[in-house]
Amino acid sequence: EAGVVQSPRYKIIEKKQPVAFWCNPISGHNTLYWYLQNLGQGPELLIRYENEEAVDDSQLPKDRFSAERLKGVDSTLKIQPAELGDSAVYLCASSLGLSSDYQETQYFGPGTRLLVL
């Protein structure tokens, strides 16, 4: 069974440019999460989807970050424009979606490492 797939694995852009990350969750997983992981830190939740609905986006900086999960399967996270401080690893995870809280095991993708110059 395929795990969570993310692309690209690495991205280098100049500041003020737009960038997009793609995630395909494990088949059958209804809940999808995007995390930000800075160097030396643990993952920080940006947004959580249950199917196509964003149920927790309180930590998403909405002035420059956006996300979508149009058909309730794969998802895209976008930054526009990127800033130097956005350099980090962006993680996607998924879970079955049988529970409305955070007790479910999350399955993580390998992440996209972003460097903004």
Partner 1 sequence: AQSVTQLDSQVPVFEEAPVELRCNYSSSVSVYLFWYVQYPNQGLQLLLKYLSGSTLVESINGFEAEFNKSQTSFHLRKPSVHISDTAEYFCAVSARGGDDKIIFGKGTRLHILP
Comparing CA positions, the residue from 109, 110, 90 lying closest to residue 43 is 90
Task: Give the integer Cα–Cα distance in Å for 95 and 30.
Answer: 7
- Given a contact cutoff of 8 angstroms between Cβ atoms, the answer to whether 109 and 6 are in contact is yes
- Which of 1, 27, 40, 63 binds partner 1 (CB under 8 A)? It is 40
By C-beta, is 60 or 82 nearer to partner 1?
Answer: 60
In angstroms, what is the minimal distance from the CB of 32 to partner 1? 14
Element (H, E) at 116: strand 112-116
Residue 102 makes contact with partner 1 by CB under 8 A: yes
Contacts with partner 1 by CB under 8 A lie at 3-4, 40-45, 48, 56, 58-59, 91, 93, 100-103, 105-111
